[in-house]
Amino acid sequence: QSALTQPPSASGSPGQSVTISCTGTSSDVGGYNYVSWYQQHPGKAPKLMIYEVSKRPSGVPDRFSGSKSGNTASLTVSGLQAEDEADYHCSSYAGSNTPYVFGTGTKVTVL
Amino acid sequence: EVQLVETGGGLIQPGGSLRLSCAASGFTVSSIYMSWVRQAPGKGLEWVSVIYSGGSTSYADSVKGRFTISRDNSKNTLYLQMNSLRAEDTAVYYCARGNWNERTVDSWGQGTLVTVSS
């Protein structure tokens, strides 16, 4: 199972929006509505931000939203804030033998 | 409160063995599926292995035949036995609690660093 493809970096000014893509195949992203997004600050463990393509866990601001079309999922961060500067990783379910396929990761910079 | 605490990382020579532990609290490890996920320096996350509530296991191709995942229900602890370690196994290893209904990791440990080098 190959890693999902994400752009290495993305950036935006405070208050702007940034969208990150996550491209897989019909065996993972395209085959299931089980795409998650994780935020990771330097030296810290990842934190779940989006699950099942577009659902937010309790406590995650509604500035974070997710979507999917075909084999590509997207995470949008609206109204960028300084604390949103972090690495973002997508993942998809790909069957019981491979419960998680992760993306290559995207570093988001708030200019 | 859910808590996962990994221990056992360190510096090990190529070809050596190491066992990682993940002590869980706030839930029962045998009741859900648990995974190990690793992150090489400066790289993305990589799923390593899973153990389901029924005891079945699965491994990434990169570690199959070398790593073994297990759990001790009496200690509420998850393990990863790593044999025949290679330089490319160098990474921070995270213990990850899975939510089956959502097919997602809803809790992560703080990670433990494994460095394979001579």
> Residue A99, class by beta-carbon neighbours within 10 Å (0-12 exposed, 13-18 middle, 19+ buried)?
buried
Residues of A in contact with B99 (CB under 8 A): 51
Do A103 and B44 make contact, defined as CB atoms within 8 angstroms?
yes
pLDDT of A1 above 90 = no
Any chain A CB within 8 A of the CB of B44?
Answer: yes
Pairing between β-strand A64-69 and β-strand A106-110 as defined by DSSP bridges: unpaired
Do B102 and A34 make contact, defined as CB atoms within 8 angstroms?
yes
How far apart are the C-alpha atoms of B64 and B67, rounded to whole Å?
Answer: 6
Any chain A CB within 8 A of the CB of B33?
Answer: yes
End-to-end CA distance of chain A: 35
Q: Which of B86, B82, B92, B88 is nearest to B39 (CA)?
A: B92
Q: Which of B99, B86, B115, B113 is nearest to B27 (CA)?
A: B99
pLDDT at B118: 94
- Residue B31, classed as helix, strand or coil, is helix
Q: What is the mean pLDDT of residues B93-118?
A: 95
Q: What is the mean pLDDT of residues A50-76?
A: 97
Residue of A6, A32, A100, A106 to mutate, testing the B interface (most B Cβ within 10 Å of its Cβ): A100
pLDDT of B4 above 90 = yes
Query: Secondary structure of chain A: what % helix, strand, coil (to 5)?
Result: 5, 45, 50
pLDDT at A54: 97
Q: In this predicted model, what pLDDT tens digit does every residue of B64-100 receive, in sequence order?
A: 999 999 999 999 999 999 999 999 999 999 999 998 8
pLDDT at A36: 98
Q: What is the mean pLDDT of residues A98-110?
A: 96
How far apart are the C-alpha atoms of A46 and B57, rounded to whole Å?
Answer: 23
C-alpha distances in Å from residue A48, one per residue of A15, A53, B118: 22, 12, 36
Q: Which residue has the tokens 């290495």?
A: A8
Q: In this predicted model, what pLDDT tens digit does every residue of B25-66 receive, in sequence order?
A: 999 999 999 999 999 999 999 999 999 999 999 999 999 999
Beta strands in B56-116 (DSSP E): 57-59, 67-72, 77-82, 91-99, 104-108, 112-116
